């Protein structure tokens, strides 16, 4: 018997601002632009929106006050959510459950971020207070005392451990970066569209070994909003609905003690079971992947955790280029966060919607079953959606 | 010890970690041991994350462990580390279980390996001794 929530809701609206080194608008203003675009895209009037879920990025510029900036009245659902990079997929999950429960009809989910300031680097935007001369307090101070800074460090440590345990190579990480850039070259939305080779990858500077610059995602200013609506009315809305077939989360935690496996086994392994089970599909049925890719390694370990290959076999699995254009498992078809744009979980989600609608243009792939994942923290938080342009198989 | 040109971020003790940092000045690596389930943990927290007991004792660790994982940092974050780039950032898993962030000393970066056996030694920064690890 099909899961009772399978196919009850669909994404019916998508609004995206320009993304990248976009200056002159606050996070609230970017969010308002994206919401206006999403409402128009869904063919709705603003008063029909009765749910608002808000996710601020690293610059933490939007919150519950966005409701009043948008002039949304009589909301039936409102929250400021934070599951880091897993939030976008989570917002769709909570919107779907609220719709299924009859609590709301058209739920806007919006992300906005503006960490880039004119004249500063992307690294500075995510380096935090790393240059601080204030003494860190307590045992946590051992991290900066060891020169452990930023988000790049834990991901480099995770990738290194995978390499040591399973023999994963630098070339295998590089193939992911090269493939995603090839996808980005086909996307007018992507920030980085010049093709790269494996040699370019190896020549890009080290950030923290084993991560080159081209292993790391972009940093972008911008906003993305989507609208989730009941499946029963979605088909009468202007754009092809993208139905929610499956949903799952996984948050394995890290004891920072012997026995932890956070580096090489993510919450994706847990989320996969729930999401695939609800959707009634397995990895062999997936026709396209839109995977959270803060780093190349995140893609590799996610593919393993969803059972596309055995644990530890991610390197050989990606090595033949199957993720890139023309490959057997099209993945991050807009260039992802590495080469497209970095809107946290809205990056894979927005591309999944575009593909689900069949609006991918030169980069359109077979879209019957799309896996969309979100990952946040240091491989800490994970959420998944299985999406499809079909309400059911029949 | 050489004088840093720009000071590195040197931790100062809080109430939870004061015994750790005081013992460090005597060359001892102290851990908290849960009074209920016996799990060892770094002194960052009052409650055991296995059983949530807040009873504990201080125990001296053997000071030995293995490299869990490591990276070689090339990015400039803190000015106090600029002269050290590229430097290793290493997680050592102590034989008692807890993992701590540190640096491997006495070995070229390209000779560090996951699983390598290491022993603690103490690097003095004024009134604070930091745990570093050297291959055994």
Minimum-distance CB partner of B74 among A206, A258, A260: A206
Q: Please write the tens of the pLDDT for every residue from A362-374.
A: 999 999 999 999 9
Whether B37 has its CB under 8 Å from any CB of chain A: the answer is no
Q: Please write the tens of the pLDDT for every residue from A136-185.
A: 999 999 999 999 999 999 999 999 999 999 999 999 999 999 999 999 99
Where does chain B have alpha helices with state H?
18-25
Whether A237 has its CB under 8 Å from any CB of chain B: the answer is no
Query: Which pLDDT score, from 0 to 100, does residue A131 have?
Result: 64
Whether A321 has its CB under 8 Å from any CB of chain B: the answer is no
Whether A156 has its CB under 8 Å from any CB of chain B: the answer is yes
Distance from CA of B98 to the nearest CA of A (A): 4
Mean pLDDT of A274-280: 98
User: Is the confidence at residue A358, as pLDDT, over 70?
Assistant: yes
Distance from CA of A205 to the nearest CA of B (A): 9
Is residue A372 within 8 Å of residue A385, measured between CB atoms?
A: yes
CA distance A381 to A146: 25
Give A248's contacts (C-beta < 8 A, 6+ positions apart): A270, A271, A272, A273, A274, A275, A276, A277, A278, A383, A384
From the list A292, A295, A341, A381, the catalytic residue is: A292
Query: Which pLDDT score, from 0 to 100, does residue B5 have?
Result: 60
Which tokens sit at B135?
């291959």
Which tokens sit at B126?
């004024």
Residue B6's pLDDT band, with cuts at 50, 70 and 90, is confident
What ipTM was assigned to the predicted interfaces of this complex? 0.96
Q: Bridge-partner residues for A53, per DSSP? A: A79, A109
Residue of B nearest to A206 (CA): B74
Q: Please write the tens of the pLDDT for every residue from A333-355.
A: 999 999 999 999 999 999 999 99
Q: Please write the tens of the pLDDT for every residue from A295-311.
A: 999 999 999 999 999 99
Whether B66 has its CB under 8 Å from any CB of chain A: the answer is no
Strands B117-125 and A106-113: what pairing?
Answer: unpaired
User: Is the confidence at residue B3, as pLDDT, over 60?
Assistant: no
Which tokens sit at B102?
């540190």
Residue of B nearest to A212 (CA): B74
Q: Using the beta-carbon criterion (under 8 Å), do A139 and B7 form an inter-chain contact? A: no
Mean pLDDT of A115-128: 78
CA distance B20 to B12: 11
**Active-site residue, A306 included:** no
Query: Which pLDDT score, from 0 to 100, does residue A125 have?
Result: 72
**Active-site residue, A292 included:** yes
User: Is the confidence at residue A393, as pLDDT, over 70?
Assistant: no
Closest by alpha carbon to A113, among A375, A378, A347?
A: A347
Is residue B132 within 8 Å of residue B120, measured between CB atoms?
A: yes
Q: Using the beta-carbon criterion (under 8 Å), do A138 and B7 form an inter-chain contact? A: no
Closest by alpha carbon to A374, among A350, A349, A356?
A: A349
Which domains are seen in chain B, by residue range?
Answer: 12-60 (no CATH), 62-136 (2.40.50)
Q: Output DSSP code: residue B26.
A: T
Query: Which pLDDT score, from 0 to 100, does residue B4 have?
Result: 47
Mutation to test the B interface, candidates A123, A126, A258, most B Cβ within 10 Å: A258
CA distance A156 to A61: 28
Phi-psi map region of A280: left, alpha, beta (phi>0 left; psi -120 to 50 alpha):
left
Q: Please write the tens of the pLDDT for every residue from A25-68.
A: 999 999 999 999 999 999 999 999 999 999 999 999 999 999 99
Strands A381-388 and B30-34: what pairing?
Answer: unpaired
User: Is the confidence at residue A129, as pLDDT, over 60?
Assistant: no
Q: Using the beta-carbon criterion (under 8 Å), do B99 and A256 form an inter-chain contact? A: yes
User: Is the confidence at residue A124, as pLDDT, over 80?
Assistant: no
Residues of A in contact with B68 (CB under 8 A): 161
* Residue B71, CA atoms < 13 Å, CB-side half-sphere: 28
What pTM, to 2 d.p., does this model score?
0.96
Residues of A in contact with B86 (CB under 8 A): 206, 209
Query: Which pLDDT score, from 0 to 100, does residue A233 have?
Result: 97
Strands B128-135 and B117-125: what pairing?
Answer: antiparallel
CA distance A201 to A301: 19
Which tokens sit at A240?
């092809």
From the list A126, A201, A342, A381, the catalytic residue is: A342
Q: Please write the tens of the pLDDT for every residue from B71-99.
A: 999 999 999 999 999 999 999 999 999 99
Tally C-beta pairs within 8 A across A and B.
141
Instruction: Write the CA distances from A57 to A83, A268, A344, integer angstroms.
Output: 11, 21, 7
Q: Please write the tens of the pLDDT for every residue from A100-116.
A: 999 999 999 999 999 99
Residue of A nearest to B73 (CA): A208
CA distance A234 to A12: 6
Mean pLDDT of A88-101: 98
Is residue A183 within 8 Å of residue A324, measured between CB atoms?
A: yes
Whether A284 has its CB under 8 Å from any CB of chain B: the answer is no
Mutation to test the A interface, candidates B39, B64, B73, most A Cβ within 10 Å: B73
Query: Which pLDDT score, from 0 to 100, does residue B1 have?
Result: 46
Residue of A nearest to B101 (CA): A143
Q: Please write the tens of the pLDDT for every residue from A217-250.
A: 999 999 999 999 999 999 999 999 999 999 999 9
3-state secondary structure chain A: CCCCCCCCEEEEEEEECCCECCCCCCHHHHHHHHHHHHHHHCCCCHHHEEEEEEEECCCCCCCCCHHHHHCCCCCCEEEECCECECHHHHHHHHHHHHHHCCCCCEEEEEEEECCCCCCCCHHHHHHCCCCCCCCCECHHHHHHHCCCCCCHHHHHHHHHHHHHHHCCCHHHHHHHHHHHHHHHCCCCCCCCCCCCCHHHHHHCCEEEECEEHHHECCCCEEEEEEEEEEHHHHCCCCCCCEEEEEEEEECCCCCCECCCCCCCCCCHHHHHHHHHHHHCCCHHHCCEEECCCCEHHHHHHHHHHCCCCCCCCHHHHHHCCCCCCCCCCCECCCCHHHHHCCECEHHHHHHHHHHHHCCCHHHCCCCCCEEEEEEECCCCEEEEEEEECCCCCC
Distance from CA of B24 to the nearest CA of A (A): 12
Which tokens sit at A192?
């980085």
**Overall residue count recorded for chain B in this entry:** 136
CA distance A162 to A97: 36
User: Is the confidence at residue A394, as pLDDT, over 50?
Assistant: no
Which tokens sit at B53?
């007991």
User: Is the confidence at residue A128, as pLDDT, over 60?
Assistant: no
Residues of A in contact with B102 (CB under 8 A): 142, 146
| Residue ranges of A 189-218 with Cβ closer than 8 A to chain B | 205-211
Is residue B38 within 8 Å of residue B32, measured between CB atoms?
A: no
Minimum-distance CB partner of B10 among A145, A150, A255: A145
Mean pLDDT of A323-330: 98
Instruction: Please give the mean pLDDT across all residues of chain B.
Output: 95
Residue A320's pLDDT band, with cuts at 50, 70 and 90, is very high
Query: Which pLDDT score, from 0 to 100, does residue B62 have?
Result: 98
- Sorted by where each begins, the domain ranges of chain A are 9-116+218-388
Run of H or E including B30: strand B30-34
CA distance A130 to A36: 37
Mean pLDDT of A323-332: 98
Instruction: Please give the mean pLDDT across all residues of chain A.
Output: 96
What is A9-116+218-388's CATH number?
3.40.47.10
């Amino acid at each position: 018997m099909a899961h009772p929530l399978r196919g009850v809701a669909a994404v019916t609206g998508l609004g995206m601002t320009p993304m990248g080194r976009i200056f002159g608008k606050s996070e609230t203003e970017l969010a308002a632009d994206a919401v206006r675009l999403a409402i128009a895209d869904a063919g709705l009037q603003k008063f029909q929106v009765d749910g608002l879920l808000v996710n601020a990025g690293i610059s933490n510029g939007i919150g519950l006050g966005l409701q009043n900036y948008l002039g949304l009245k009589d909301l039936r659902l409102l929250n400021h959510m934070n599951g880091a990079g897993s939030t976008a997929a989570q917002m769709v999950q909570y919107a779907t459950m609220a719709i299924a429960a009859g609590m709301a009809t058209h739920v806007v989910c919006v992300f906005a971020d503006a960490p880039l300031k004119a004249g500063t680097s992307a690294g500075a935007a995510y380096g935090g207070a790393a240059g601080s001369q204030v003494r860190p307090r307590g045992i946590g101070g051992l991290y900066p005392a060891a020169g452990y800074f930023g988000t790049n460090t834990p991901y480099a440590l995770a990738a290194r451990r995978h390499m040591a345990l399973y023999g994963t190579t630098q070339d295998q990480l590089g193939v992911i970066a090269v493939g995603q850039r090839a996808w980005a070259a086909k996307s007018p939305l992507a920030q980085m569209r010049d093709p790269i080779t494996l040699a370019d990858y190896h020549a890009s500077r080290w950030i923290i070994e084993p991560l080159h610059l081209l292993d790391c995602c972009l940093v972008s200013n911008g906003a993305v909003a989507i609208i989730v609506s009941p499946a029963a009315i979605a088909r009468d809305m202007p754009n092809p609905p993208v139905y929610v077939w499956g949903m799952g989360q996984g948050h394995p935690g890290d004891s920072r003690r012997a026995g932890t496996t956070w580096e090489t086994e993510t919450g994706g392994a847990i989320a996969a079971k729930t999401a695939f089970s609800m959707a009634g599909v397995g990895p062999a049925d997936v026709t396209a992947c839109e995977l959270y890719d803060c780093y190349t390694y995140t893609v590799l370990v996610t593919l393993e955790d969803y059972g596309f290959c055995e644990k530890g076999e991610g390197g050989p699995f990606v090595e033949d280029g199957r993720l890139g254009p023309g490959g057997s498992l099209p993945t991050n078809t807009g260039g992802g966060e590495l080469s497209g744009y970095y809107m946290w979980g809205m990056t894979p989600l927005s591309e999944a919607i575009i593909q689900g609608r069949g609006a991918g243009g030169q980069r359109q792939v077979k879209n019957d079953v799309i896996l969309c994942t979100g990952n946040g923290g240091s491989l800490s938080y994970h959420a998944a959606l299985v999406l499809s342009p079909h309400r059911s198989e029949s | 010890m050489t004088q840093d040109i720009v000071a590195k971020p040197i931790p100062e003790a809080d109430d939870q970690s004061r015994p750790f940092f005081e013992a460090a000045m005597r060359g001892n690596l102290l851990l908290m041991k849960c009074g209920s389930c016996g799990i060892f943990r770094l002194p960052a927290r009052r409650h055991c994350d296995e059983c949530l007991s807040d009873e504990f004792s201080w125990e001296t660790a053997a000071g030995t462990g293995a490299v869990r994982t490591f990276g070689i940092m090339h990015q400039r974050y803190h000015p106090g580390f600029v002269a050290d780039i590229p430097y290793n950032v290493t997680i050592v898993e102590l034989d008692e279980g807890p993992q701590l962030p540190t640096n491997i000393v006495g070995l070229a970066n390209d000779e560090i390996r996951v699983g390598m056996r290491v022993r603690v030694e103490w690097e003095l920064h004024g009134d604070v001794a930091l745990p570093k690890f050297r291959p055994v």
